[in-house]
Amino acid sequence: MQTLLIIDYGSQYNQLIARRVRESKVFCEIVPPNVSMHAVRQKDVRGIILSGGPASVYQKNSPQINPEILKLGVPILGICYGMQALSHALGGQVRRAGRREYGRADLYLRKNPGALFGGVPRKSVSWMSHGDTVARFPSGFVKTAYTKNTHTAAFENAKRKIYGVQFHPEVIHSAYGKRVIRNFLFPICRFKKSWTMENFIHEQIRQIRQRVGSSRVILGLSGGVDSSVAAALLAKAIGRQLVCIFVNNGLIRKNEEESVRRAFKGHFKTDIHFVQAQKNFLKVLKGVADPEKKRKIIGHEFVYAFQREAGKIKNARFLAQGTLYPDVIESRSAFGGPTAKIKTHHNVGGLPEKMHLKLIEPLRELFKDETRELGRKLGLPENLVGRHPFPGPGLAVRVIGEVTEERLSILREADARFIEEIRRAGLYDKIWQAFAVLLPVKSVGVMGDKRTYDNVIALRAVTSVDGMTADWFEMPREVLGRISNRIINEVKGVNRVVYDVSSKPPATIEWE
């Protein structure tokens, strides 16, 4: 498959670069600077993008370009730090900028700026984020753009097809950023628009069947988007050789198990084992209020319940997981070392080592929106593939404080009414994530001319693109009023509802 490589120098925008490339129907991979050149040469690499990053090229131990990359003979585009790394590697000079440049900047193109800027006006808005600048570009290069504060905002060596831009074309604030990226992909790299979901499905089915043979595959089905889409793809590939295990830990949303049964039973030829483990989870969570302890206990208990059920399945050689590409990226260091890892994901490794099963991750090349598109192509219902994210520990991290059956029941009912009302108002798809939280406090109220002392429910709804940052959703007053009225009148044990108007940062989306 024709591939564009994105070499990751630690930019917060790497996933945006990949998304822009994928949106153009070109397959891409994000790799660290120390990627094996042998592995690179095994791929059909038609172009390379060098990402931005927080380092300075002249600092000790800063990531540099592998000289072998420059010998591949494919077009290269350096973005921000990537441009500086190109200049440094090819004999130019990079130094601290006399005036740092962050945010909006007017970009001015030189006369005849070349193929990279085809269709871009002489003056446009770009987005900058840099403290260093290219003071002298390498021999054979020409300047193609500048800003008020940046002498060389873009350069190129058209003969070698090497380009650099100091701004970030991948962010939406760069008015013609998509055009710049597509100019690089098509007129310069000459990619074909071959990355389609139909092609992905066909290739994955072929690979799964070839690898699995006659063995059985086990998958932990949670009812969330990722595991459900992975299950649907595997079911289409190997049918009843797939065995799904749904562990009901008592921490799931209202009617979650029933919705999974409806989505899969009769629609996909696969076996589903439903494990009723509610009592065990409540038992080990008794008296625990610390959120990190909750997460560890739930994770440990899940592994125990899953392993016990998986042990009953004969001829099982593989474990399937709904790992997505952002999980893979965030679980490794940007520079290939052990110190810069962003976070560890529960579904990147873990279970296979304990279960002696080989790992299958059919979605590990996809982003979330691509996963939803795949689910639709496979016939999963819209209310499943379009649902909001749900935390791995479930409602346990939305019950602030100790988790009990009674408190879970109150939260589950309140949450169900919240979601029902925003769906009814046509707001569900405009919100990234919406949920209810049971607070560890009670408040005085008056119901039926009697004093009450009951629980408080907080409602949380945010808008976001990727969950990394988020803003609170401005819920219409009348909708908020209906939600509050229903929860207080219909959920026994609640007499007050509040709405969370915190953004991320400084808050997080979840409360725990």
Phi and psi at 444, nearest 5°, equal -80, 140
Residue in 439, 421, 453 with CA at minimum distance from that of residue 497? 439
Cα separation values, 65 from 31, 70, 424, 474, Å: 13, 8, 53, 46
Selecting among 88, 130, 156, 168, the annotated active-site residue is 168
- Count Cβ atoms below 10 Å from residue 247 Cβ, excluding itself: 26
Q: What is the residue-wise DSSP string for 195-231?
A: --HHHHHHHHHHHHHHHHTT-EEEEE--SSHHHHHHH
Report long-range pairs for 426-429 (Cβ below 8 Å, ≥24 apart).
427/473, 427/475, 427/476, 427/479, 428/386, 428/388, 429/386
Contacts of 402 (CB under 8 A, 6+ apart): 285, 286, 287, 288, 289
Q: Rounded CA gap, 394 and 249, in Å?
A: 9
Catalytic residue among 28, 80, 189, 244: 80
Q: Rounded CA gap, 367 and 246, in Å?
A: 24
Decide if 143 contacts 137 (C-beta within 8 A). Answer: yes
Residue 80 designated active-site: yes
CB-CB neighbours of 151 under 10 Å: 15
- Copy the structure tokens of residue 377: 């192509």
For residue 74, give the nearest of 145, 178, 3 by alpha carbon: 3
How many residues are there in the chain?
A: 512
Helix segments in 311-396, DSSP class H: 325-330, 351-355, 368-377, 382-385
| Cβ atoms of residues 220 and 227 within 8 Å | yes
CA angle 58/59/61 to nearest 5° reads: 120
Q: What are phi and psi of 440, to 5 degrees?
A: -85, 30
In terms of phi and psi (left: phi > 0; alpha: psi -120 to 50; beta: otherwise), the region of 75 is beta
Catalytic one of 29, 101, 156, 170: 170
Which DSSP state fits 188? I
Whether 168 sits among the annotated catalytic residues: the reply is yes
**Residues with catalytic annotation?**
80, 168, 170
